[in-house]
Structure 1
């Protein structure tokens, strides 16, 4: 078997994950069984949901055991197919790629990609899970009406950048929350009316109020933490909060995350808060992908990517993404 440097889970993180929680081993090139594909990895995706996998606690994402090959979304080229569904040379997308140059995935979970339609890595970003998350969390759960104000945290990230552009397309007033002035400026260049650098704002509640003088109708919360509290205190009557992600809690996973309690705001303003998981919308994936692709082809969607190079970079890219140090969709190119 040829060399195949592979990242495995070495330890469950205590607090914020570190690259030391992973170990690089040469496990050799795996062999596909019937119904499986041996794939040469081209791109790996690192995403906030993976934090939930690095814990023995029960969660919506299947946990990984110590010694397991770390897994996530990926795009690659089929080397050997043990399934009639695919042939060698096909470019495929899967959510069960190992962090390794050569990986085996199930043919039933793989999706063939058309490399002529869009760059293949967009299947991990604007045309894939993050794009679909932005689409359904904003439109199906947030249910915005034309002209309403939409506040979006982690606005330059994989989900936030697409959600802000969908808001622009749909005639909404989009306001960004991001972690640097450069990120805020870029958000404004893709259609956000204005933005807030949450790392330098002296008072986040006041900063959101100033950016949203008519209040917030829909809050797409990709972070939790203090940004969540500031958004809540600016919600309008019958406002909708969509909890998409809790990356601000990555350093205290499975610990109580209650900050200031403003429960009466939900009563007085009749606010609805709902958690979001993409799998709940799988029956609508095809139509949503078609609309995202149409917007992309027309130049209405711009995708910013933050690319780390080489399999050695995978855990470092993962940790920097959790810390908000990435600018755009975080990818690893092999």
Structure 2
């Protein structure tokens, strides 16, 4: 019963990525900038988390909707408004705020990367947005509450650094992000397992999938620099991807890695499978075809909105 209540509460917060926005959100007027986001822990206080995170989630949904509508002018207006307000740059008391800032910075950068780089960088508003996003990346890079974990949150922080570094031409941020992505790739075992995520018990499958997402997107950004992260650690990303694909088709297959019965969030095998879009576009794995057909479009509030539109490839008839 407690789990059902927790899921219902959290789903109400996360659903912003999938549902139509109210009329008040369908504008390009940025809400007041949140100087700090400081929700309680995701698992420690579900209702408190959902309430505290609403303003940030609403703004992310607004940015992603503008990106999905191919409206760079609106995206720029929204992000410039928060940049002027130094949003998300104040350290909060709770560790969850560090994670949320990292995910938000990733989303904002990937939303802007959906548009031609030359026009983005020539826009006067980008001169306000650029130093603000760099500050977010630097705060993420230096966040001890992330750095010591060594798990999926470090990989997500790596994607924050790589996406913002790519957008802003900051090679130092890209290199720092690459090092964290490579940590994740080294963590993948011979059978596609992640030891730290296996310790999640009933959530191990969810977190294997959640950990894979930033590694795939880091690999895609690295490929722009002719770096093949997919090949590293003897193709480790492919091993982890195979674990997830088998589990989507038959959850019982995960028992090869964990005998603990698994609990999934409603979005685990929906929006959190967004990594399949760039992965299929690059490798055309036929095993992904029925999974993508059943789920498109894949939207993710940490990845710039409609990932199918931004990263997907046409599927064969």
Higher helix share: 2
TM-score scaled by length of structure 2: 0.30
Higher strand share: 1
TM-score scaled by length of structure 1: 0.29
